[in-house]
Structure 1
């Protein structure tokens, strides 16, 4: 059986797990996995059969690099993370060489999802989820008004850039901080209003910030699988359960939200919905139109999310999948010898 060639461009370290989940699939389909990253010793490359070094490019130049890489290596499936919007914009270039790209092709939706302010407006119009109270600001005075409004509504307040990944730029306003204790303790996301206002006042305008109510209940990451047309095939709500523990559990209202998101937006393949509770009400944090950083944990539910997305993209039949019982999981460090010039991985430096 001919091997299927899969390519991951610059991904997080957890792509190591995605690659092995695809490789160790239940159908016994053979895969050859390619990956590129600017750091030739990045952990994600350790899961690849063929690894390459990415150049520092943006826009159409980066897309052309990916197209050339796919053409040269006869890539069947491309799973992008870096510059996903540019790649989606030029997806026909990959179609022309026979490479299937696992990306949402609804460009307006993709642009909206990547800007949290715009997407909150979209969700509000659709009425499919509840969103936190928030303001989008660009000046220090707007920041002050937003903060005062949220406090008047009884909220604790946090803020983060509207265009960011993970926890980058996330801060919680806490006016009871003791700076000296923090200086000798762990780094925290806490900042006083006065300090934040002082910093922001140093610029006439700054990139959009979302100032919002701080949600203090459980945070759930709902890993979702859909077919190429956006039909939902699986959804697993996952949350932290103390320390390294992670709990995958059936939460009917969150599973219903996943179904509504899939029906409304038709995001194909793998995507992730982040919700956080305010009391008994789940509110949207964000949606990621890609595999989440914790997806390999959700696969312990028995659903091989990365492989099933690839199988669907290859035209295979994928049935709706569920998990019977709640699953409590954790992880331990695994020592690994880095393969730099090893026989099992060829590192092809690309200029």
Structure 2
């Protein structure tokens, strides 16, 4: 409970100096009335889903401010506002209790963010006909102390993501050697919106990944395809001689329209990365001198190399060889449109060293 001490010093009463202390307590709070700062969707936990609720009610105001509002994680009474969203009263999205829902309320979500179970959620709804959601890393192999940059994509040319207002997603891995690393998210170039202009967006670091919340703020859905966010994981520099695998997996997901309709995507791709041990660090030189783009692509793929390659081979996930070229030039263009939509592996060799790059054809 919150209380306020008002001290009058000194006070002359009956010829003596006295100190009067008045304790003022906020109204009692029933479960149905309580506001917990940061729990904007009133589900009992502060996480990235609360960003969507704030974005859906952005700029709403009310005279019903909380008495002696605090952003500390304590229950506080507040009269209902006149508006609700997703069957939750708007007062819960006013995280700082000042009577207006704005960017400042997202700071309270960050302040009171509390991670939940680290177990994979096996119940994420998906739809094979829905818009694809997938993740691609910048490299298949990295050295210790490198940064792994994952790009998260939603929608494609064939199946765009329609009528999206907010996205909440949690990505986690099971590589204990990388637990506690520096994890962050970036939203530059997201087709869903521009952060702090028409979108609020936060990445909440977890011990084993990141929890991302994104929501538009203009009450207008958006239809699109392509990258919606990037995630950076910095690999520690003390992992020793043995190589490690890290696979960032989608463990929780909510995609929703402004009207409250849930969008079920087609979850089609994870992208494991190999962290090289110290003894084989030099094997990464070849991969870092070859650039494959664009990825994903619509069938036309460029490969540029600063090293002379001996061979390029394209295979599908079953290992079937689809194309081989000996002594390619430093810049090659491949037409993969005849291979069909899906994931393929580009194998390139130079001086007895072989490296690989996965590409996705939309």
TM-score interval (norm. to shorter): under 0.3
Point out the structure with the larger strand share.
2
TM-score (norm 1): 0.28
Which one has the largest radius of gyration? Answer: 2
TM-score (norm 2): 0.27
| Higher RCO (CA-CA < 8 Å; seq separation 6+) | 1
